[in-house]
Amino acid sequence: MANTALITGASSGIGRELARYHASKGGDLIITARRATELDALKSELESNHGITVTTIPLDLGTTDGAAKLYAAVNATGQSVDILINNAAFGGHGIFTERELSADLAMINLNVCALVALCHMIGSDMVANGSGRILNVSSTAAHLAGPLQATYFATKAFVSSFSQAIDGELRDKGVTVTALEPGYVATEFAAVADLEGTDLVSGKAASPASVAKCGYDAMMDGKLTVINDRKLAFQLNWIMPFLPRRMKLNFVRKMQEKAT
């Protein structure tokens, strides 16, 4: 039986580990990101280690028509997508009004608009086929408002809310949607988001491989949401909701401040 996964942001970090994990289970892959060299290296590695087929589609998913271009390129391969993993995203540190507006709008385009478009286009095909699994990579940031990363935290709140809502619409049509909400993970994310030197990234980091396995397994089990770390899950689900909002804003701001 065909078992093809489309994974965005597969050139590094959690996305690359999701591709490795899916390949280890014998599934074919369509992988995408901007860096073609990294995608080609992953294709060679996975095809020789697992005897599967990997298609690479290097493109910028953050442009207005990025998702439509990806969908057209996937269709041109003649493959249908059994698993959609929306993983590509980036963050950005700083006071909102002091950041370039264009950077935050680009973040919304990738983290939110492209994800929504792919869920719509590929989700519609899955509904027509009567089956499919979608994993949307969100973040623990979905549970909190995030001073010094205001737009990023808000994009992840969107991803978790949207994922659960469409699961509620699609589950009885054979399509499940899971939101993976990791805490801090050791990837290129912190450098890209300019978070180095903050308390957020000086603490314990999960490995991208462990987070990928956690999210993939939860998706296959049809779970609604999953947090990779039990202690963090307890704090976010059972302590944070009862704390005063201002206290939480101060806590998150402090975590993301840089020593001057």
Ligand X SMILES: NC(=O)c1ccc[n+]([C@@H]2O[C@H](COP(=O)([O-])OP(=O)(O)OC[C@H]3O[C@@H](n4cnc5c(N)ncnc54)[C@H](OP(=O)(O)O)[C@@H]3O)[C@@H](O)[C@H]2O)c1
Looking at the annotation, which residues are catalytic? 152
The distance of closest approach from Cβ of residue 26 to ligand X in the complex, given in angstroms and rounded to an integer, is: 23
DSSP state of 57: E
Residue 215 as a binder of ligand X (CB under 6 A): the answer is no
Which of 25, 35, 120, 171 is close enough to bind ligand X by CB under 6 A? 35
| Residue 136 bridge partners (DSSP) | 86, 179
Q: How many CB atoms lie within 10 A of CB 64?
A: 11
Closer by beta carbon to ligand X, 18 or else 52: 18
**64/124 with CB nearer ligand X:** 64
- Angle of helix 66-76 versus helix 115-129 axis, rounded to 10: 30
- DSSP notation for 154-205: HHHHHHHHHHHHHHHHHGGGTEEEEEE----BSSSHHHHTT-TTBHHHHS--
Contacts of the segment 39-44: beta carbons below 8 A, 24+ positions apart: 39/10, 39/11, 42/10, 42/11, 42/16
Query: Using CB under 6 A, which of 29, 30, 54, 137 touches ligand X?
Result: 137
State the nearest-atom distance from the C-beta of 65 to ligand X, in Å: 12
Residue 248 interacting with ligand X (CB under 6 A): no
Q: Quick one: 139 or 163, whose CB is closer to ligand X?
A: 139
Write the binding mask 158 to 197 for ligand X: x where contact by CB under 6 A, - elsewhere.
------------------------x-xx-xxx--x-----
User: Site residues for ligand X, window 217-246 (CB under 6 A)?
Assistant: none
Choose which of 4, 11, 149, 198 interacts with ligand X (CB under 6 A).
11
* CB contact burial 130-144 (16+ within 10 A = b; e otherwise): eebbbbbbbbbbbbb
- Dihedral, CA of residue 168, residue 208, residue 229 and residue 192, to nearest 10: -80
Whichever of 52 and 211 has its CB closer to ligand X, that residue is 211
Nearest to 145 by CA among 246, 249, 235: 249
Among residues 4, 5, 6, 13, the one that binds ligand X under rule CB under 6 A: 13
Residues that bind ligand X (CB under 6 A): 9-15, 33-35, 38, 60-62, 87-90, 110, 137, 139, 182, 184-185, 187-189, 192, 208
